[in-house]
Chains A and B, each alone.
Chain A
Amino acid sequence: MNKIFLVVRREYLSRVRKKSFIIMTILAPLLLAGMVLIPTWLMTRDDSPERKIAVVGEGAGLFYKDIASTKSIKFDYLPETSPEEIKKTYEELGYYGFLVISPKVVYIPNAIRFYSRKQPNMEMLMHISNELKNEIEKRKLETFNIENIEEILKEVESDVKVQTILISDEGEEKKTSTGLSMGIAYASGLLIYMLTFIFGAQVMRGVIEEKTSRIVEVLISSLKPFQLMMGKILGIALVGLTQFFLWIVLTLIIVTIAQSVFLPDISPMAGQQAVQSIMAGENAQAELNIQQAATGAELNEAQAIFESLKAINWPLILGSFIIFFLGGYLLYSALFAAVGSAVDNETDTQQFMMPITIPLLLGLFISMSAFQNPDSNLVFWFSFIPFTSPMVMMARLPFGVPGIELLISMAILILSFLATTWLAAKIYRTGILMYGKKVSYREIFKWLKN
């Protein structure tokens, strides 16, 4: 046991002290924060070039100024110009394209033509079709000759959103956000996949390093191969956990700083107050504040997100994440170690990587489908199979998983990790001292039998 600890300490310290570890630890949260902040930043500023579009022909008169211009799209109505005329000159005139609306559009939906050199983007087409659809609907309604139709239309205009609320066995209600659950499911599945791969490969590289530098012969006269393998696996697991925690802390710090610097208007006072009251548990007060805050739709949304953030069982998710990450990592890294022991250099690893990569990728794909359909049969079964369960179960978790299923999945994972390690140790024991020999699968099965 003492010797495993020595190996763990060496593996941990030698990696944590590396420049590449420190750089990765600082850089990754910056990248991650960038991934969160840059799209938000891009959305808040509109930098798409202004495009002019000519509406020509008969339709231009019929729907004169009915399609409103936006920040990036300007519409010119030229009822006197025919499509044939503008076809040759539209680019010289500075138009991105031109729109021909046939009067038949009232009963033939696709009687609208948009001509341009390049494929127009979705946003532009949606804008045009929405505006025209509303206008046509309005005009059709007008044909019924209803009085005060304008006011009636304004009156009936409504917006609908579904608030999801989960009811626990005790009858407690929790407001949730499906979007947020999907986000967590997606992120944790992907993260487990990435961490397992990155640190599993480190185990493999470490084993190959020891083998090619021949230090393994010295080590093997001091401790058992199993101790060496386990020490390496555990040491790198600690490196992974250290890096993971540093990433979370640093990302939080960076996002907080960046938000207050670049996007100061995103968290208005009322919303914050509401959140503070929620956190303080002053429900009545909170409700009042929420009502105050709910004056604007935007605030309402922000508050809803805070509410669902609160509704998520963070200790459960983080705790399970660590257990499933560790379980999955231990399971795979034992295999990575076995592969590393069977080859002489990294280029030879490819033939043995298949059985590791395929279940890992399968787990990733299924977890991706899990956050869209968390209750499908496929997802259910793969959340128990140990090679995919870390990713798939983590993707199911934010949508609610019965405690017993979670425990069974963890138990299966731990048992299969023990079994895999036992098998991997057999391969490892023989492999690390085998030099200059191309190893085949058949050879490895022979080692397993010994």
Chain B
Amino acid sequence: MAFFEAQEIVKDFSGTRALDKLSMSVPKGSIYGLLGPNGAGKTTLIRIINQITAPDSGVLKYRGKNLKPEDIYSIGYLPEERGLYKKMKVGEQALYLAQLKGLKKKDARERLVKWFKKFDILPWWDKKVEELSKGMQQKIQFIVTVVHEPKFLIFDEPFSGFDPINTRLLKEEILKLQKKGATIIFSTHDMGSVEELCDHISLINKSRTILDGPVNEIRDKYDSNTYEITFKGEVNLLTASLSHHYKIIENQAINGHRKLSVELMKNTETNDVLKVLLQAGSVVSFNKLMPSMNDIFIKAVEQANSNKQK
């Protein structure tokens, strides 16, 4: 049973349709990536899940039951537009927000100090928020989102504004939260982080889901059975002999080596290619080219757009 489910969500904003019969199903304990170009409707969907805006129609189910207003308090939500009281001191503010989430003051302080140490911002405890850099404000925002250890976390663009080191740190923490049993939805443009983190994705384009499912399955689906081969020897032999078994997409000479991208036809085994290669010269490397999420993203969006135009 899905941990969280959205069924046929429709939302209109004064004439323009932001979400069009959108459905998604988030399995328990997964990290669910919400992908899509700018303006696709990701943030609208997230705001609907957080009950900040109400859908025009559709059903939302949380742990098998219809989503209730009280459910919001068991959700940790990191909004895309970060907001803190600028004039308030960092520690005081974090304590306030943690207490609003229902933590006891003493407990909240202990947990916050632990997080502040982890993120290396403890010296800023008594500084005002406006004195902090944007990245540090982001860290604080992340901490107050997760400090009460909610079972359901929603991050809207969690990595925007972070340098690579802090992004790394944040990813590790997100994975730790998953291990502790949290179910996580996050929206992002950063395909690299999708590959590292997500078990499931949903690709939204122009207010519709155009692709969703477990990341492995999607990759298999978009697997073009392409291999990258580097070898020394005569390339003509390859093109001549088994050309009906494969297609050479790329053919480059680099430092005396030859680098090829080869797409195998159906019913062609890698060994068949290798046999030919062995005759043609000495093999340096033979790798399967996995489709990157970036490629899948671009491919799927372009496909969807051209389908619409037809």
Contact = CB atoms under 8 A, between A and B. Distances in A.
Contacts of B47: 433
Interface string B14-55: 000000000000000000000000000000000100101100
Given A219-B100, A221-B77, A222-B100, A433 B83 contact: no
A427 to B, nearest CB: 16
Nearest to A430: B53
A14 interface: yes
Contacts of B73: 221-222
Interface in B95-111: 96-97, 99-101
A433 B53 contact: yes
Interface stretch (B58-66, B85-93, B180-188, B283-291): B85-93
Given A221-B50, A221-B77, A433-B52, A215 B84 contact: yes
Given A213-B86, A433-B53, A222 B81 contact: no
Nearest to B145: A218
* 8 closest A-B pairs by CB: A214-B83, A215-B83, A222-B100, A217-B79, A214-B81, A221-B77, A213-B83, A433-B52
21 contacts: A6-B99, A14-B85, A210-B83, A213-B86, A214-B79, A215-B84, A217-B52, A218-B79, A218-B97, A218-B141, A218-B144, A219-B100, A220-B50, A221-B50, A222-B73, A222-B97, A222-B100, A222-B101, A224-B69, A433-B52, A433-B53
A216 B47 CA distance: 13
Contacts of A213: 83-86
A10 B97 CA distance: 10
Given A213-B85, A220-B52, 10 more contacts: A3-B100, A7-B100, A10-B96, A213-B83, A215-B83, A216-B83, A217-B79, A218-B77, A218-B83, A220-B50
A223 interface: yes
Interface of A: 3, 6-7, 10, 14, 209-210, 213-224, 433
Contacts of B179: none
B118 interface: no
Contact of B85 (A215, A220, A221, A223): A215
B42 to A, nearest CB: 15
A143 to B, nearest CB: 83
A220 B47 CA distance: 11
Contacts of A214: 79, 81-83
Contact of B100 (A209, A216, A217, A223): A223
Contacts of B81: 214, 217
A194 to B, nearest CB: 25
Contacts of A433: 47, 52-53
Given A217-B79, A221-B75, A6 B100 contact: yes
A213 B88 CA distance: 12
Interface of B: 47, 50, 52-53, 69, 72-73, 75-77, 79, 81-88, 96-97, 99-101, 141, 144-145
Contacts of B53: 433
Nearest to A3: B100
Nearest to B129: A213
Given A433-B52, A433-B53, A221 B72 contact: yes
A10, A209, A224: residue with the most chain B Cβ atoms closer than 10 Å: A10
A3 B82 CA distance: 22
Given A214-B82, A222-B101, A223-B100, A14 B87 contact: yes
Contacts of A10: 96
Contacts of A6: 96, 99-100
B96 A217 contact: no
Contacts of A222: 73, 97, 100-101
A216 B53 CA distance: 13
Contacts of A223: 100
Contacts of A217: 50, 52, 77, 79, 81, 83
Q: Which of A3, A209, A222 has the most CB of B within 10 A?
A: A222
Contacts of A219: 97, 100
B148 to A, nearest CB: 9
Contacts of B69: 224
Nearest to A14: B88
A59 B86 CA distance: 78
Nearest to B52: A433
A14 B96 CA distance: 12
Nearest to B88: A14
Contacts of B84: 213, 215, 218
A418 to B, nearest CB: 22
B147 to A, nearest CB: 11
A386 B104 CA distance: 41
A266 B124 CA distance: 57
Contacts of A14: 85, 87-88
Nearest to B13: A437
Nearest to A220: B52
Of listed B69, B75, B85, residue having the most chain A CB within 10 A: B85
A216 to B, nearest CB: 7
